[in-house]
Structure 1
Amino acid sequence: MRTLRDKRPRLLDVADSSRERALLVLQAIAEECGRRGYEFSLRPDDNPTFQISMDGVSFGFVMFEEYESRPVMNEADLKEAKYDWQRVRSTVRKVRSGKLVIRTGSRHSPVSWADRKRWSLAGRLPYLFAYVEQSTIETIEQRANAERERIERRQAWERALDRARQLCVTDLNRRRLDDQLAASRRAENLRCYADSIDRQAEAMDDAEPALQARQWAAWMRSEADRTDPLLRLTDLAYVRPEAIKDSDLDAFMPRGMSVWRRPPQ
């Protein structure tokens, strides 16, 4: 209270005539916080006016004095008036009302307690503490739900990533299999064609063309041997690469998930 009164009075937006009562209300709040085991302090963001913390949950509050529209006499005319019966002009202005308000919550959904005709701000303090208690329970539940959802999202992403790895490896081996089948058929076709060329060469009367044909057939067989997967025994196995690029995995992630968007730990 001493800090609000002496060092940082700007955090208490009230007229001088209302300041003492405002400080008494704040003192009552601080004492009740102490009785309940809550923490009462100024707000760490240096905004008006104070905060209450319960079970690790903090709520910022603003205390201020409301303004109201009221006719106010013109000071210059008052000074110039010589007689009581003289008419003095007045204008409607926003002036301090003497009504104190404590407000919390966001700009779009504020919650407040205030002086009114039927009650005083001090009489509404039990409702303020009820708000703190209920809001703390709700905030803790929301945090727990958010934490649970975060863990579930992370676990779902990790499962999806494992599944993507499996699908990526399966797809790799399927493509390898298709390539091997195509290469095996080509090698078989090359050998069959080479055999046909050899038979044609045997029937040729001209030795030079027959020699060229046999050489062509021999090159075909060497090409068949070069590309025949059945002759590369190390390729005849299901492969599991040690490392897979994220760019290769991303295509196998479920809709709405990406390797690049990792949920927080």
Structure 2
Amino acid sequence: MIARVLSIAGSDSGGGAGIQADIKTITMLGGHAMTAVTALTAQNTCGVTKVTPVEPDMVAAQIDACAQDIGIDAIKIGMLGSPAIAAVVADRLERLGVPVVFDPVMIATSGSVLADTATIAAFERLMKIATLTTPNVPELAALGGDAALDALGIAYLAKGGDAEGDDVIDRLVIPGAQARVWTAPRIVTRHTHGTGCTLSSAIATRLGEGASLERAVEDARAFVRAALLAAPGLGRGHGPLGHAAIRDFQSPVSNA
């Protein structure tokens, strides 16, 4: 059986982030991608022009449909769209008992706001359910910083792609353990749309295969870096990654 991975996230009409990036990532890493769409967005590499949240009961119905037939080995959560959707997702996840990777999406790569204050306030419940939360620099600040997340007693990956400097530093914090830090040279490119979505869905796929959290993060980071280097150069703004151009990517997990 291959890993059955459910992405709960918004769609991206430009194909660079959200559900579309998740499907590409999960598929390229050998998993079976399923979706529960939380919002429809009109966007491209230059920005988001319109967002329409899906009704919460429809989000719940999508999750139930996947769980009741195909089954779920891991879940990735991205853009939620509203506090009501966040609540219904949390209700379902508490019953499923599978690894969950929560990417607390608040702002698109283009700078467009994708979560209002009330939705962000609903994130705490999901962070407590999640196996791992993956905030970038501004998201970590909006969530109260390291002190707030440490107080919750949760595992989180503090991503450093939005920080300054020649190196990208990612820090995995697991309660009761020493933090694991990865440092790598920054890949200088404007084609970074969907990096967070790709990373979180890659981690979820590896967790669904049975990898440890640290190994899943390490493998996912390698996948994202390969996709950044293979970006096809599409669009006038922040272009998509090159998921489909890395068919020869070899997973440390699958080779272990």
Per the normalisation by structure 1, the TM-score is 0.24
Structure showing greater radius of gyration is 1
Per the normalisation by structure 2, the TM-score is 0.25
